[in-house]
Structure 1
Amino acid sequence: MFIKKITSFCCCLFSAVTLFAQQGATWIWYPGDFEVWLSNDMQNRRTERGTFFPPFWRMDSHYVLVEFHKEFDVPADEEITIVAEGKYNVKVNGKMLPGMPAKIDLKKGKQKVNIKVYNQGQVPALYVSGKTVNTNKDWLVTFEDKEWIDETGKASDQSGTTYVKAGYWNFDQPTQFPSKFKLPTRQEESISTTQQGKGTLVDFGKNTFGFLTFHQLKGNGKLSVYYGESKEEALGIATCETLDYIDVSRASSTDSTLDLSKAFRYVYIEKEGNISYDKVSMQYEYLPVEDRGAFKSSDEELNNIWEVAKYTMELTSREFYIDGIKRDRWIWSGDAYQSYAMNYYLGFDSETVKRTILALRGKEPTMTHINTIMDYTFYWFLSIYDYYQYTGDKEFIEAVYPRMQSLMEFCLGRRNKDGLMEGLSGDWVFIDWADGLSKKGEVSFEQLLLCRSLETMALCAELLQQKDDQDFYAKEAKSLKTKLFEYYWNPTKQAFVHSRINGEQTENVTRYTNMFAIFFDYMSKEQQQGIKTNVLLNDQVQKIMTPYMRYYELEALCAMGEKDYVMRQIKEYWGGMLKLGATTFWEEYNPAKSGAEHYTMYGREFGKSLCHSWGASPIYLLGKYYLGVKPTSAGYQTYEIEPYLASLQWMEGKVPTPAGEIDLYVSATKIKVQSPTGIGTLKIKSKTKPKSKNGTIVQLNKETYTLEVRAGVAYEIDYKL
């Protein structure tokens, strides 16, 4: 949960008044505008060897003129204060007030307040505070005022203006201007400094992110600073990904912090001239989120994997969920989709999920896929219903639904004559980083994701009681699902083929469509077994080398009961990175590589990200499939706990929910559980009937039992695994 006190705001006033916040007042804006503006600011900080490197896709902007309004029944005369980011005018009950008043008096009774704010460079934002009149999420906003007058000067009797509920976050003080937001920082020290060749190598002990500080810097000359996630990269001054060249001209010693944040473990520094400094430290930049989820077990290697995954998630959780801290520092929908899932088992930070979803969607008109990637558009749809399932936040679904509709209209309008998605000019069909992976023709994976996206649209329409929409999207999903099996299922191979070209199945079988179809629950038991044998456990099918898709592959295997195998894979794959000295998890890991070969990617010596968001997936796998906790209705009103020890002697952990954390301890003979919310179903595998002082044990079959878990009750179950 985002910490309310933000220490990094500049306190400058746009209205020359001294204000004190009243309870209930917060800054508001047109929904999505602050998120788009902030994402533009963040994503354009990327540099590559000192050169500005902007994103590949269209960058949208905020609406520059926004009207805010709300009607009140004021119980007694009161004075309200107004602060805005931008020029503004005020109307009360349709009457324009002179100037830009910082304070106005409202009389008792019905009052309608309209405030129109203009700001070209920043998001038009508004803060109104009074005893009962305050800006909050219930204010309505619009970017288009369609009022008009006739030749007599009479105003129109009806308006085509569309109003929506205001956007907001946690800027609850009048001096907390949204445009001044920055993440907080704290000073951290290096662990060693050594001389290397002509310069100095500084080691901070692990991958980190922030601003380098030179203490007591003075003299005249030049500093050349080379950053590295590895020692080799920092010393590779000709090929390292990021660097700084700093001209120094100082007569007296001062502490100097660089302007741009960087990712690094090692920093190599060379001096020219008579420059001197005492030491180098850093200002560590972070998103303040409480670690509500936890995991610990009898296996120290697994515990270490959890901790490194948690730290990887910490570093890639910034203003938004980004891909990696060194190279892109952009918001990629596929990467973010996995970050959301990990977040639900760690920080349960709903605000960053919503900010990221809104930033990715951008503004109308829709011209391209999200990040220009077809599959990333579909992940965006999937993320929204997942968000509702974990949080129960219907209000956000209502707010984002029109943007879902317009994006789906864009997708459906790009289908070919057979009603299938096929890459058009400007479309990037990504799927995964894999050698020789074909993107030609009608790729089955894209049809599968579109089908699930249509099902998501139908579910959201049902939630919002949009019956016609629900029927339309459900019909489209059913039709596409039929085509998926008709066009791509190969009964001889007992698997989906990768693609169709010119209306014919290709021979190639890949893992992607097959494993997603399993945890989408599209397959019969017989088909699942066919896929498990012929694809997922078949070394002849091209293996997956990225944590990105290993995450989904292992989830599919967990869903089919292969949790012992998955546990070994977690320890082998993520443990393999730890054995190579990883302090965060990587963008790609191939055990067959050796030495500095592990750092290469994209044809560059140090192109690979060694701290990548999709590397943190053990958080999700351990929370959902080993602690075994997942919601079965929105916001954990009902949920399931099905713990699985695998090779562990014991494990314990916390899984966050909107109402608090579910506490769980499991050994071979005892389960302890307590929950703050909803009604849970604890599933127990036991050779004898379990015993519990609280609740009633119900037998499902020979060795499977259930216990209903009620909020606020501590349960201790004796059983025999």
Structure 2
Amino acid sequence: MLKRRNLIFISFWLLLSLFNITARAQKASWIWYPGDYEVWLSNKVQNRRTERGTFLPPFWKLDSHYVLMNFHKDFELASPEDAHLYVEGQYNVSIDGRTLRGYPTILHIPAGKHKISLKVYNQAAVPAIFVQGTYLVSDTSWLLTYEDKEWIDATGKTSDVSATKYRNADSWDFTDPTVLPSTYHLPVEEHKAASIIKKSHSLFIDFGKETFGYIKLLGVTGNGNVHLYFGESPNEAMDTALCELSDKVTINQSGGDYTFIGSRAFRYVNIQYDDNIEINDVSMLYEYSPVTQRGSFKCSDNEINKIWDVAAYTLHLNTREFFIDGIKRDRWVWSGDAYQSYLMNYYLFFDSPTVTHTLQALRGKDPVTSHINTIMDYSFYWFLGISDYYQYTGDKMFIQQNYPSMKTMMDFCLGRRDADGLVQGLTGDWVFIDWADGLSKQGEVSFEQILLCRSLETMAQCALIAADHESAEKYGKIAADLKAKIFKYYWSNQKHALVHSRIDGKPTDNVTRYANMFSIFFNYLDEKQKQDVKKYVLLNNDVPKITTPYMRFYELESLCAMGEQSYVLKQIKDYWGGMLKLGATSFWEEYNPADTGANIYAMYGRPYGKSLCHAWGASPIYLLGKYYLGVKPTSPGYKNYMIEPNLGSLKWMQGTVPTPNGDIQIYVSTSQIKVNAQDGIGILRFKSSTIPKCKQANIIAKGDNIFELQVTKGTYFTVDYKAL
């Protein structure tokens, strides 16, 4: 019996030892120099744009990846092991200073302490490696240098370790060694057409809604030409002379299918083909980003539900390798457009990688020689995007890794100030602000000073995270000085608002919405100033109206921040609901209720120039999540957060808000609030005309009919109350 017990014990111990060995095996990934893959891939993505067979690349400077890279790792093995090696590019390998002959694919490494180095050259794609052993694996602990002869660590600090500049490796979720990073592409799935009208040698296809992908001809026979005319509207697809996108291909086959190479945005496709061509059917390969939709929203208003659903679809269509502006045009990575996508993303997907990939792609390489996308405000949005990313995710490592690039970008911006310490458009700068007729961009525009001020505050915060205390103090002081100048130079007591600009040192009389609404949710105004701006600017029809969803985003956010949810709900129904009434299946780049007929599709002097699927049109996702469900982080990464629901004029609403480590689920009616939280410590704050009751938590009266209770991870409770 004793021997049997011993055998069982020994067998159990051996199994446990085997489990521990397996458990200690590390997960490998393809690795490369930080930011290089984003730069390389964004170049590839942004140069896919064509219009009617014409190649249309971006009009700003495109950087390149470093073509020669040195990968290095110090490690120790308790026992010998064989590590498999995969490389993108030409390479050599050195272990403990001894260079191995040829191109080894298996590394035989004895027990003990070792140093491994790989030099990889690749002009066409990013130099990358994949190492898979039991203990030695390629991950972000590896160090890299492009041989610029100065050592730094992952936070950007200099070190005296060697005479070479090193940074920690970067990676995406590429864990298959046989799939090279340069071959990465988004997945596709086949979709059938909603309807096909077949005539003699032509097909008119409707896929039922706005979509994106590759047209697939089924059962193709013959020898001749096939012409495709794409349209986001039936008008566009039928206009063979002026539609924005078209393709032509010569077919020579006796059956089978044909898939077009170029991805396109469309709902409708007008296919015309030669007499000796036959096409049995048409489908498409829908291309998409495999992000998971975690956020949700439903309410008592069916039109609002439809708006939220279409907004979610719009954002998903424009969430690709990066956040792009629109799927028809431009299909580029614009910083201002992406900034709004980040915010919507936090309430729909909470997909951090797409945010960081986009931020790194936009930043590019040093030296900085122009504003991001050549646009002054877009450089500032880049800083704001980093600030929000940290607040929502709490990811200090990203801040530390990218802080050196933030400093050089801010050095460029500060170097373009005038004698008063303000920014204005210089040679090569595009001061964008918004698409609006008659909007002045001359002089020192107050809106640009507001964005610079918040960017400087971001730099002060990130400098502290990067332990650069001297710079934190410097940026904080510049921001404080600039804020004082903004109110000294631009605030008009007579107009109860910030004026639009200064020209030759003198403030103009013009009042616009831009600087005023940003100053509200940046919390730059005192309570009286906020009320003045609301009355004399935001609710004043004499101030030029905003017609783009881009700036409606901020206008409605500023009103929500002041408790005007009932008013904003009507605006959402009028504006986004107006697009739905015109048949929109995704939201547009611009919508003007005054436009009628075919003019609703026109922009930039072209009859179909307007994008009918633009990421910035999806802003109701953010507004409904942050200001109606009322969920927002109050410390980085939702360690602490606030739930402050506001029904506006809704009877009830429910939804899910994703966080880094779980979801917050909320139901709110005029008589009941339910909360189920999976992350962090929160405060539920609400107003009630009666004393509320909750069996699962203590309610604290804060005065003025305001009540609070604490929300902790894993708690579920119901509050009975009466909404004011």
* TM-score computed with the length of structure 1 as normaliser: 0.95
Does residue 420 of the first structure (1) align with residue 427 of the second (2)?
A: no
Match of 1:458 among 454, 457, 460: 460
In 2, the alpha carbon distance for the partners of 1:145 and 1:586 equals: 46
- What amino acid is aligned across from residue 352 of structure 1 in structure 2? T
Task: Give the aligned partner of residue 529 of structure 1.
Answer: 531
2:111 equivalent to 1:95: no
Once the two structures are superposed, residues 13-67 of structure 1 have per-residue CA deviations (whole angstroms, 9 ceiling, x without a partner) of xxxxxxxx96411000001111111111111110011111100111111100011
* 1:514 partner SS: helix
Runs of 5+ in structure 1 lacking a partner?
1-20, 149-156
Q: C-alpha displacement at 1:195, in angstroms? A: 4.3
**Deviations along 1:451-477, whole A, 9 cap, x unmatched?**
100000001112222110100100110
Cα drift, residue 539 of structure 1: 0.4
User: Aligned ranges for residues 5-20 of structure 1 at < 5 Å?
Assistant: none
Find the partner of 2:699 among 693, 697, 707: 697
- 1:509 corresponds in structure 2 to 511
Alpha-carbon distance in structure 2 between the residues aligned to 1:125 and 1:462: 32
> Who is 1:18 aligned against?
none
Alignment match, 1:561? 563
Distance, in Å, in 2 between the alignment partners of 1:394 and 1:655 is: 22
Q: Which amino acid aligns with 2:607?
A: E
Is the 1:422–1:442 Cα contact (8 Å) retained in structure 2?
yes
Q: Which of 490, 493, 500 is equivalent to 2:492?
A: 490
1:140 aligns with 2:143: yes
Match of 1:638 among 625, 640, 643: 640
Among 129, 134, 140, which residue is 2:132 paired with? 129
* Partner-residue secondary structure (3-state), 1:344: helix
Where does residue 477 of structure 1 map in the other structure?
Answer: 479
Shift of residue 199, structure 1, vs aligned partner: 3.0
Contact 2:150–2:166 (8 Å) recurs in 1: no
Out of 594, 609, 612, the position equivalent to 2:596 is 594
2:232 to 229, 233, 252: 229
Is contact 2:629–2:666 with CA below 8 Å preserved after alignment?
Answer: yes
Instruction: Report the counterpart of residue 269 of structure 1 in structure 2.
Output: 271
Check the 8 A contact 1:222/1:273 in 2, yes or no: no
1:699 Cα offset (Å): 0.3
Classify the secondary structure of the residue corresponding to 2:348: coil
1:208, 1:315 within 8 Å by CA — same for their partners in 2?
A: yes
The answer (yes or no) to whether the contact 1:690–1:717 under 8 Å persists in 2 is yes
**Residues 1:410 and 1:145: Cα distance change in structure 2 (over 3 Å):** closer
Opposite residue 249 of structure 2, the aligned amino acid is: I
1:604 corresponds to: 606
What amino acid is aligned across from residue 329 of structure 1 in structure 2? Answer: R
Kindly indicate whether residue 56 of structure 2 is the aligned counterpart of residue 53 of structure 1. Answer: yes
2:62 is paired with a residue whose SS is coil
Q: Which residue of 2 aligns with 1:283?
A: 285
Partner of 2:277: helix, strand, or coil?
coil
| In structure 2, distance between residues paired with 1:552 and 1:337 | 12
User: How many Å separate the matches in 2 of 1:109 and 1:492?
Assistant: 77
Distance 1:515 1:303 in 2: 27
C-alpha contact (below 8 Å) 2:201/2:274 kept by paired residues = no
Of the candidates 193, 206, 211, which is equivalent to residue 209 of structure 2? 206
Shift of 1:578: 0.5
**Which residue in 1 is equivalent to 2:709?**
707
Query: Which residue number in structure 2 is paired with residue 307 of structure 1?
Result: 309
Q: Offset of 1:201 from its aligned partner?
A: 1.1
How far apart, in 2, do the equivalents of 1:134 and 1:266 lie? 49
Q: Does 1:64 align with 2:41?
A: no
Q: Which of 235, 242, 253 is 2:245 aligned to?
A: 242
Aligned twin of 2:332: 330
Distance (whole Å) between structure 2 residues aligned to residue 680 and residue 695 of structure 1? 13
Q: Deviations over 1:204-244 (max 9, x none)?
A: 01000000000011101111110000000000111100000
Counterpart mapping for 1:136-175 below 5 A: 136-144=139-147, 146=149, 159-175=162-178
Residue equivalent to 1:362: 364
- Unaligned ranges ≥5, structure 2: 1-23, 152-159
Amino acid at match of 1:324: G
Distance in 1 between the 2:686 and 2:273 partners? 64
Per-residue deviation, residues 643-692 of structure 1 (Å, max 9, x unmatched): 11112111110000011110111111111101111110001211112111
In 2, distance between residues paired with 1:41 and 1:392?
30
Distance 1:373 1:114 in 2: 41
Select which of 79, 82, 103 maps to 1:79. Answer: 82
Shift of 1:146: 3.1
Secondary structure in structure 2 of the residue aligned to 1:62: coil
Which residue number in structure 2 is paired with residue 39 of structure 1? 42
2:41 match: secondary structure: helix
Equivalent residue number for residue 113 of structure 1: 116
Cα distance in 1 between the residues matched to 2:416 and 2:555: 29
C-alpha distance in 1 between matches for 2:149 and 2:450: 42
The 2-side partners of 1:690 and 1:237 are apart by: 64
Shift of the 302–197 alpha-carbon distance from structure 1 to 2, 3 Å rule, reads farther
Q: Does 1:445 align with 2:447?
A: yes
Residues 711 and 208 (structure 1 numbering): CA distance in 2 closer, same or farther, change over 3 Å? Answer: same
2:396 to 394, 397, 400: 394
Using the alignment, how far apart are the partners of 1:566 and 1:158 within structure 2? Answer: 58
Q: Give the deviation of 1:147 after TM superposition.
A: 9.3
**Offset of 1:198 from its aligned partner?**
6.9
CA deviation after TM superposition for structure 1 residue 160, in Å: 3.4
Task: State the distance in 2 between where 1:641 and 1:94 align.
Answer: 58
Shift of 1:188: 0.3
Kindly state the Cα deviation for residue 327 of structure 1 after the two structures are TM-superposed.
Answer: 1.4
Residues in 2 aligned to 1:673 and 1:172: alpha-carbon distance in whole angstroms: 38
Q: Matches of 1:234 and 1:53 in 2, distance apart?
A: 21
Cα distance in 1 for partners of 2:224, 2:82 equals: 58
Preserved contact between residue 201 and residue 275 of structure 2 (Cα < 8 Å): no
CA distance 1:196–1:604, change in 2 (3 Å)? farther
Q: Give yes or no for contact 1:22–1:129 (8 Å, CA) kept in 2.
A: no
Distance in structure 1 (CA, Å) of the matches to 2:552 and 2:659? 26
Give me the whole-angstrom Cα distance separating, in 2, the residues matched to 1:244 and 1:495. 51
- Give the partner amino acid of 2:637: G
- Map 1:566-715 onto structure 2 (within 5 A): 566-715=568-717
Q: Among the aligned pairs, what percent are the same residue?
A: 58
